[in-house]
Structure 1
Amino acid sequence: MATILIHELGSGDYADENGHFELNNLNPGNYHLHISHLGYKSITQTVHLENKDLEFNWVMEPSAITLQSLTIEANPFKNGPVEQSQTIDVIDRNFIEKNNSGTFSNALAKLPGISTINTGVGISKPVIRGMSSNRIQVNDRGIKQEGQQWGADHGLEIDPFDVDRVEIVKGPASLIYGSDGMSGVINISPAPLPMEGEIRGHLINSYQTNNAMRSHSAMVEGNEDGFIFKGRVTFQDYQDYRVPADEFTYAGYVLPVYDNRLKNTAGKERHFSFMTGIRKNWGKSTLTVSRFGQQAGLFTGAVGIPSSYNLRHNGDYSNIELPNQDNSHLKIISNTTIQLNKNWLEIDLAYQRNVRQENSLPHAHGINSSEYGNLALGLYLDTYTANLRYNRQVNEKQQVIIGFQSSLMNNDFSGFEFLLPEFQSKSAGIFYFHEYRVKENFILNAGLRLDIAQHQIESHSQPIYNSSGEATGNEILRNPEIDRNYSNLSGSTGFSWIFSRKSNLKFNLGSSYRIPTPIELATNGIHHGNFRHELGNSSLESERSFQGDLNYTYSKENILIGISPYFAYYNNYIYLSPTAEFSTLPGAGTLWEYRQNNAIFAGGEIKFHWSISPALQSTIAAEYVYNQNLDTSLPLPLTPPASILTGIEWKLPLETFWLDNNTLYVEYRQVAAQNRVDRNERVTEGYGLLEAGLGLEFQLGKQMLKLRISGQNLLNEYYFNHLSRYRLLNLPEQGRNFNINLKIPFQIKNQ
């Protein structure tokens, strides 16, 4: 059945078998309706209601392309993907469950233009068009996630089971979202809540063979008389993971990999979230509290050079030894939408507490003992956020958004190691965005944004230790006091031209900015999760970019073709680059430093989806990133190589009274060698990965069950991910893995 959802209220109705539906008790005003039905293109419609009954008629177009049935929920104008001038990909819970391999970021990597930076199995973060960390903004329920995202070994603190729908904006998005949206934005949105009178939920259990990852997640949600709620709890435990190798080379040493397992790569995770709120005809208001908790071992070679003895297992592959990470992320988010006259005011408020503790033995750092025990580095980040957006429908052709965003961050640290000093950061921005529908098939948009920011970074001196590991009483200045103020103006314009029912051309041109982060200005220490000494630069200036993004889509009932080329010029591009020097700090290895040069980025994505028959579908997705440092005439470091993903999915003819909706898929990803590297950066050979899976839905008594069985790296390929931190230790990626997932949906109360 079709679902009709009022975006502003989060309420709606199901159409009956004849397509009829009713939406009652609505105040006069402007509303955005989203109509969706599996097997049909979604419809997004703006309606203006007065004090009288209105009747609407829509005809949905059939489409065999599954993702065309999804609507855009988190974009500023609440309209559809066709009307937006930027390139936007939308995925839902089914896509995430099919591609879940332990982390949320790894599921996103199935989309063209997106890859991941991995540290082992449990830690990963997304990369959009060759950029990551502070050039990608992740928004959870409208709030920017702040969690020391500058670290390549700092994964995204998101429960992979608590993500229902994701919208990925590719290209410059600083105008609406702020400084960190230079390369793209990942919007995580909750799924539409149950209709009035519904209470439902599900249980998910999964197991992965490579590292014996056991995942359990339970969710329940409901809607009773306008009172809405949703709760989830998740447990994940995994062992040391297997690689198709029995030895590796590091710093001139040939060292064993016992039992084909990387010692101390086990971990465990404990997450929970709870949302409650009200939904009335004047709007809606929700309060969400969530906590992400993770303890993950770091390969024994992360500190110093491992010996053969230290690499031998003690028989317990689940044991988390030193060194390790202990991370938690608490979020308290308030989302309120209020109708003002005929328009809407959105208010998002949040508090976040991110705790990141890296533990290690002091003697591995040249220190006999420490008042901090085994705490090498503790980072404690508190963030307060306030966002306001006023959405005004000027007339049938024009709508405007005026927005304000602000944040306050306080960072403290502890431990016997130094990496990032104490700091306080303040930022505020205002923006104006205007959309004008020139014709029914031609939409223009443009906007401006003004931002101010301040970094106040404390100086830090560290004791000097003698050769016996004892403090000498002298200190060395690791970073000076820094007080910097910034102001920036950015803007963008674009259009979407729907020049036929099958073709859509988009273009977006923007100038965006990014201020240097405290880590880029002031770091000076060993980042053991990355196996290197990182050095900041207090003279860094703001980045400025000029970016053009083109997108062409051809779509009919059984074919979808998308081409998305882009080009960007960066003035004062900030990046972390390897030097030819070794650090003087004990066990540090190579010195990497933050530099600033002019650079260009170019590339694109191509996707092709063909529904050969109602039971057989094929997909091809390719991506390429090219960049160049214009000052050194060399590529920028850590650039993802080109890749192509081909897949085929077959709906099995196994439908019976107890077996339904069964699919078999096979995918093959070919990744090219990466020979375009920066000075002192290693090249990486190409590789190919084979994956296959089976999805079954069956009835057991009155209970519906959903079973997924999949296998990754089925050929047990020995390969290196160019973006993996473990590549620096000559350690290959995870070997063959099988995943089994059982989902048990349940209905406590029907509408």
Structure 2
Amino acid sequence: MKIILLLLLLPQLLLAQTGTLSGTVRDDQRRPVPFASVAVPAAGLGATADAQGLFQIADVPAGTVRLVASAVGYKPTTRNETLAAGQALAVQLTLATAAAELTEVVVTGVSRATEIRRSPVPIAAMNRREINLNANTNVIDAAVRGIPGLSAVTTGPNVSKPFIRGLGYNRVLTMYNGLRQEGQQWGDEHGVEVDGYDIERVEVVKGPASLLYGSDAVAGVVNLLPALPNGPEGQLGGEALAEYQSNNGLLGNSLGLNYQKNGFQTSFRASHRLARDYSNSVDGRVYNTGFRELTLTGMAGVRKAWGSSHWYLTLYDNQQEIPDGSRDSLSRRFTRQVFESGLDDIKNRPLATNQELRSYGIGPLHQRIRHYRAFTKTQVQLGGGELHLLLGVQQNNREEFNHPTAPAQPGLALRLTTYTYDLRYHLPTWNGLEISIGSNGMGQLNRHQNATDFPIPDYNLLDAGGFLLLKKPVGKVEISGGVRYDTRLVTWNDFYVAPNPATGFEAAAGPATIDAALQFPAFRRRYQGVSASLGASYAATEQLTLRANLARGYRAPNIPEIGSNGLDPGAHIVYLGNRSFQPEFSWQQDVGMLWHQRTFDASVEVFHNFVQNFIYQARLLDAAGQPVVIVPGNTTYQFQQAAARLYGIEGSLNLRPAAMPWLAWNTSLALVNGQNAEASLRERQGAAGRYLPLIPPLRGRSEVRATLPARPGRLSATYLRASVDASARQGRFYALDNTETATPGYALLGLGAGTTYANRAGRPVAQVFLQVDNVFDTAYQAHLNRLKYFEYYQAAPNGRSGIYNPGRNMSVKVVVPF
């Protein structure tokens, strides 16, 4: 408490030394790059160059400073400078026209700012420009396109759950600007509650080496970083964005504003997206896949010589349709539910009309997710080091309306409130040794509201952990590692359910209520575990870097895995938990080789991950070996636990011919194999249970991009691009009880173009991005698309089972900076 008071009330007593950085951003032909972005990521500072490429950043902490400069049509560049207290240092930054990503500065999952190629921990990053180049319906899908090893389990076009190297859900920690995202992430049928138009950068840590965050980061971390105010001092700046996509008629609009003066910084963004049902060549329009999304984001803060403090407030409101896949058996046209489950004949429903399929209106059977965040981030220069404090509260309200005869009555209604703290101190560097210590944790309260379905109990959760991180350069070798201890307490009381005579549905009830049934017996258990990491990178030459890392990860079971006992209506699955589960522990080894030079980049990463007590879902069978049906029309799964093994390889190759500096060819490849490592279980299950569920197939992406040389005129940063996204056949799948099936391979061609239009003074007026995905309208099903299994017939007249991914999509995006 004393530390918090010191931060908020007495910053003027803290001593710090700062200076000013200024200079010019030029291209490789020595011409100014107008309106380039220049940032000091470690300090959270930034500026936008003027029409002559001139910039200035004030109040930069003295010492070694790493600058990052970027602009549309150029590759980001980094540069180290030594800034003395009170010094005004002038620098020149040069941007080349091609894109290379291996030297970007990142701060996620490591103790301090570091370069990707010098980090023993595998890290990848994607900037705003790359996000804008593609047509996406959410920020996770955008990141999947550009980061090998990252995939997503999807349920329609706006529902994507990040998976890293075959592991997802609560094994991947998603963060918004350093605040862990807590929003019922165990569920399949809703995505990440973040405004994709507001994200400036995506950083991904692969593997259980992110010791800063503890449990739920056993597979890695995805950090979604919004932009900082970077306009000229004392001037209101920002951008207006408009987007249209043809496949689902998506209409996207966003307005961002920012202002800074004399250390005061503020920003605001409002975004709205609206989409109807998507289409493909097999299914036509897929009923109930539209959505309507509104997000508001505000920030106010101050940056002075003593440090900085920023306050954030966000609102996310999404109405999301979720398909159930019911159809007419002969025509294969989609049908809609009109009766409750007891009277509903899923194979004899009325057809969805063309008007319903083309309407932007949200159907009566949908879900609504509202997510609110309020948090503060404070950084103080203290005792020669840096003290960081994050305090946050967020609330996730999730409602699923699944009663056709009572459309205003939610079936599922959960309110999750989470309180988060993160306190860390970066000690002064001593003989090159960097030491960071800290603690973080959270408290959670999950409560059912006016609901009729109760898949999980009302629970309380307390989570806390402490860590020690070290980094030390020894010649050409950089060694880093650390250790962390975590503890988690999970409790809930007896939870009863009884029929509600007023509504005809079940409701939460007291133990004395007539016909009350005990759905969730009381539970109390403490989980604990130790995580550790040790790795090193070796700069063998200026071009070649070798690295290796060994990490032990820990994850406590999540609430559905230990407490489920009911229907999740959006997933159409009855989940059953296991109260005796033990925590998961993983051992992952990473070995990598990275080559970087002006015309050629290449990287190869090999990993192996052994997971003890791996938790997975399996269909529940009766004594006769038949699937158990508790709720008609819904499958029943029970969580299981066994040892698992995952291993794979990731590679990239980026070429920029010296004779053609305007041309770039980038290729990436990722393969992961997940297997059941429990010998006794494999003997019982045979070949059908050999592989783990939800393992992505071999996936590759190749892109050729031509950026026209800069010339006098109104157009600049003009590019043409062609890409191929290919997935091999997935024949290694969890086949037990027909949980998964083989997935054919496919290749999708994409074409794109764009340019920046400037006024007579050379100031950008508009950036235009054009993109066509799936040019040949290929019919395909991604292996991690859950809609692939939304099928109610043994056979179909057209031989096609389940729902297919979107077909051809043409998009246009216009960004107007001001």
TM-score by length of 1: 0.90
Q: 1:675 aligns with which of 731, 734, 741?
A: 731
Q: 1:624 aligns with which of 652, 656, 671?
A: 671
Tell me: CA distance 1:417–1:60, structure 2 relative to 1, closer, same or farther (3 Å): same
1:219-258, aligned counterparts within 5 Å?
219-246=256-283
- Structure 1 residue identity aligned to 2:562: L
Q: What is residue 692 of structure 2 aligned with on the other side?
A: 636
Tell me: CA distance 1:665–1:455, structure 2 relative to 1, closer, same or farther (3 Å): same
Tell me: CA distance 1:525–1:282, structure 2 relative to 1, closer, same or farther (3 Å): same
Q: CA offsets, 1:448-500, max 9 Å, x none? A: 1111110012333333699x978894243333211110121111111111111
Q: What is residue 280 of structure 1 aligned with on the other side?
A: 304
- Structure 2 residue identity aligned to 1:714: V
- Structure 1 residue identity aligned to 2:287: K
- 1:308 shift after superposition: 5.1
CA contact (8 A) 2:97 2:707 kept: no
Q: CA offsets, 1:223-260, max 9 Å, x none? A: 111110110000111111112124xxxxxxxxxxxxx1
CA contact (8 A) 2:103 2:116 kept: no
CA distance in 2, matches of 1:336, 1:470: 48
CA distance in 2, matches of 1:498, 1:60: 24
- Structure 1 residue identity aligned to 2:411: A
Q: Residue 105 of structure 2: SS of its match in structure 1?
A: coil
Q: 1:484 aligns with which of 516, 520, 525?
A: 525
CA contact (8 A) 2:412 2:568 kept: no
- Structure 2 residue identity aligned to 1:189: L
Q: CA offsets, 1:171-209, max 9 Å, x none? A: 113422211111111112233432544531101000011
Q: 2:545 aligns with which of 504, 526, 536?
A: 504
**Is structure 2 residue 319 aligned with structure 1 residue 295?**
yes
Tell me: CA distance 1:100–1:429, structure 2 relative to 1, closer, same or farther (3 Å): farther
Structure 2: 5+ residue runs without aligned partners? 1-23, 26-36, 327-336, 507-512, 683-689, 791-801
CA distance in 2, matches of 1:11, 1:321: 45
Tell me: CA distance 1:314–1:56, structure 2 relative to 1, closer, same or farther (3 Å): closer
Tell me: CA distance 1:586–1:77, structure 2 relative to 1, closer, same or farther (3 Å): same
1:125-524, aligned counterparts within 5 Å?
125-194=161-230, 196-246=233-283, 260-301=284-325, 305=346, 307=348, 309-315=350-356, 317-361=359-403, 373-414=408-449, 415-439=451-475, 441-463=476-498, 473-524=514-565
Tell me: CA distance 1:462–1:16, structure 2 relative to 1, closer, same or farther (3 Å): closer
- 1:34 shift after superposition: 2.5
- 1:396 shift after superposition: 4.3
Q: 2:806 aligns with which of 712, 734, 738?
A: 734
Q: CA offsets, 1:15-71, max 9 Å, x none? A: 9999998776667x655433435656743648585x675979899796833435642
CA distance in 1, matches of 2:60, 2:368: 48
- Structure 2 residue identity aligned to 1:672: A
Deviates more, 1:5-14 or 1:442-451: 5-14
Q: What is residue 605 of structure 1 aligned with on the other side?
A: 650
Tell me: CA distance 1:625–1:712, structure 2 relative to 1, closer, same or farther (3 Å): same
Structure 1: 5+ residue runs without aligned partners? 247-259, 364-368, 747-751
Q: 1:106 aligns with which of 122, 127, 141?
A: 141
Q: What is residue 710 of structure 1 aligned with on the other side?
A: 771
CA contact (8 A) 1:300 1:311 kept: no
Q: Residue 494 of structure 1: SS of its match in structure 2?
A: strand
CA distance in 2, matches of 1:55, 1:470: 70
CA distance in 2, matches of 1:424, 1:707: 48
Q: Matched residue pairs, number?
A: 722
Q: CA offsets, 1:695-744, max 9 Å, x none? A: 12123566621111111111111111111121111111111111111111
Tell me: CA distance 1:52–1:474, structure 2 relative to 1, closer, same or farther (3 Å): closer
- 1:99 shift after superposition: 2.0
Tell me: CA distance 1:510–1:573, structure 2 relative to 1, closer, same or farther (3 Å): same
Q: Residue 411 of structure 2: SS of its match in structure 1?
A: strand
**Is structure 2 residue 636 aligned with structure 1 residue 591?**
yes
Q: What is residue 31 of structure 2 aligned with on the other side?
A: none
Q: Residue 564 of structure 1: SS of its match in structure 2?
A: strand
CA contact (8 A) 1:600 1:629 kept: yes
Tell me: CA distance 1:717–1:408, structure 2 relative to 1, closer, same or farther (3 Å): same
CA distance in 2, matches of 1:177, 1:618: 36
CA contact (8 A) 2:606 2:648 kept: yes
Q: What is residue 749 of structure 1 aligned with on the other side?
A: none
Tell me: CA distance 1:7–1:653, structure 2 relative to 1, closer, same or farther (3 Å): closer
- 1:11 shift after superposition: 3.2
CA distance in 1, matches of 2:718, 2:816: 16
Tell me: CA distance 1:374–1:63, structure 2 relative to 1, closer, same or farther (3 Å): same
Tell me: CA distance 1:362–1:309, structure 2 relative to 1, closer, same or farther (3 Å): closer
Deviates more, 1:654-663 or 1:557-566: 654-663
Q: Residue 101 of structure 2: SS of its match in structure 1?
A: helix
Tell me: CA distance 1:44–1:405, structure 2 relative to 1, closer, same or farther (3 Å): farther
Q: CA offsets, 1:111-163, max 9 Å, x none? A: 21111111111211221111111011111121100010011212111111010
Tell me: CA distance 1:24–1:236, structure 2 relative to 1, closer, same or farther (3 Å): closer
CA distance in 1, matches of 2:379, 2:634: 52
Q: 1:95 aligns with which of 124, 127, 130?
A: 130
CA contact (8 A) 2:97 2:661 kept: no
CA distance in 2, matches of 1:673, 1:221: 47
TM-score by length of 2: 0.83
RMSD: 2.8
- 1:339 shift after superposition: 0.9
- 1:393 shift after superposition: 2.3
Tell me: CA distance 1:436–1:46, structure 2 relative to 1, closer, same or farther (3 Å): farther
Q: 1:560 aligns with which of 597, 601, 619?
A: 601
Q: 1:615 aligns with which of 656, 662, 665?
A: 662
Deviates more, 1:264-273 or 1:581-590: 581-590
Tell me: CA distance 1:46–1:528, structure 2 relative to 1, closer, same or farther (3 Å): farther
Tell me: CA distance 1:614–1:359, structure 2 relative to 1, closer, same or farther (3 Å): same
